[in-house]
């Protein structure tokens, strides 16, 4: 983040569907500042109808959809805790992403796709210098992981991949919170540590 910029994020909490309405709110709150929205293909679909709001008000939001053709964060949980059983998170098991370029264009929002790393700089520049809203569908590897990532039983400051405990202690300005070894057993909960 550079001086004069602001990052609005839920960080490790990952509520899917947050980014698009948050970007709209930021655009209304600071109409003279550029708003860039980074979202995944799964999360973007939860509020995709709000592109109509963006189009109606001509909000100059630049959308970058990190499209791995899966529910990537949920898939990571399925890897970590459910034996990589990808129910409803990959195309082979019920997940589908639409053509985001066509959807944006149907609302009158210019859009294009980029799939090669060597084209990334030009794609970013093209989006950022454009007037009005713009959507960039960024095709990424289906196996792409999100890091750092919050995991069960760990405090927010202790995300995967984990730092050495001593290195983490040195970086902290407050004492470390204890890490939990199991998920509380309760009706409806399963102890995943077993």
Confidence of residue 180 (pLDDT cuts 50, 70, 90): low
Q: Is 113's pLDDT higher than 80?
A: yes
Confidence of residue 176 (pLDDT cuts 50, 70, 90): confident
Confidence of residue 12 (pLDDT cuts 50, 70, 90): low
Q: What pLDDT sits at residue 55?
A: 98
What number is the average pLDDT over the span 140-157? 82
Phi, psi of 128 (to 5 degrees): -70, -30
Query: What tens digit of pLDDT does each residue of 27-52 get?
Result: 999 998 999 999 999 999 999 999 99
Residue 79 neighbours by CB under 8 Å, 6+ apart: none
Structure tokens at 4: 């004069």
Q: Report d(CA 76, CA 43) in Å as an integer.
A: 15
Q: What pLDDT sits at residue 188?
A: 45
Structure tokens at 73: 């964060």
What number is the average pLDDT over the span 89-106? 95
78 in Cβ contact with 87 (< 8 Å): yes
Q: What pLDDT sits at residue 50?
A: 97
Q: Report d(CA 59, CA 67) in Å as an integer.
A: 22
pLDDT over 90 percentage in the chain = 58
Q: What pLDDT sits at residue 159?
A: 84
Structure tokens at 156: 């927010």
Query: Which of 47-54's residues contact partners 24+ apart within 8 Å by CB, and which partners?
Result: 47/17, 47/20, 47/21, 48/20, 48/98, 48/103, 50/20, 50/21, 50/24, 51/20, 51/103, 51/104, 51/107, 51/109, 51/135, 52/107, 53/24, 54/24, 54/27, 54/107, 54/109, 54/133
103 in Cβ contact with 48 (< 8 Å): yes
Query: What tens digit of pLDDT does each residue of 52-77 get?
Result: 999 999 999 999 999 999 998 889 88
Lowest mean pLDDT: which of 36-45, 119-128, 177-186?
177-186
Q: Is 181's pLDDT higher than 60?
A: no
Q: Is 99's pLDDT higher than 90?
A: yes
Confidence of residue 189 (pLDDT cuts 50, 70, 90): very low
List helix spans (H) across the chain: 19-29, 41-46, 51-57, 72-81, 100-106, 120-129, 165-171
Dihedral angle of Cα 148, 151, 157, 158, to the nearest 10 degrees: -90
């Amino acid at each position: 983040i550079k001086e004069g910029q602001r990052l609005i994020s839920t960080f490790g909490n990952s509520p899917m569907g947050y980014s698009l309405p948050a970007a709209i709110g930021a655009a209304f709150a600071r109409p003279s500042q550029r708003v860039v929205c980074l979202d995944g293909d799964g999360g973007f679909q939860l509020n995709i109808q709000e592109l109509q709001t963006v189009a109606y008000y001509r909000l100059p939001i630049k959308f970058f959809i990190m499209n791995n053709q899966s529910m990537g964060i949920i898939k990571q949980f399925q890897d970590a805790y459910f034996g990589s059983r990808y129910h409803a998170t990959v195309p082979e098991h019920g997940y589908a992403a639409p053509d985001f370029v066509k959807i944006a264009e149907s609302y009158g929002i210019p859009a294009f796709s980029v799939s090669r790393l060597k084209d990334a700089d030009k794609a970013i520049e093209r989006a950022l210098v454009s007037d009005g809203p713009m959507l960039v569908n960024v095709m990424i590897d289906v196996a792409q992981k999100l890091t750092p990532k919050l995991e069960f039983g760990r405090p927010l400051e202790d995300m995967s991949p984990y730092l050495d405990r001593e290195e983490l202690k040195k970086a902290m300005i407050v004492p470390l919170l204890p890490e939990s070894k199991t998920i509380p057993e309760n009706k409806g909960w399963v102890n995943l540590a077993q």
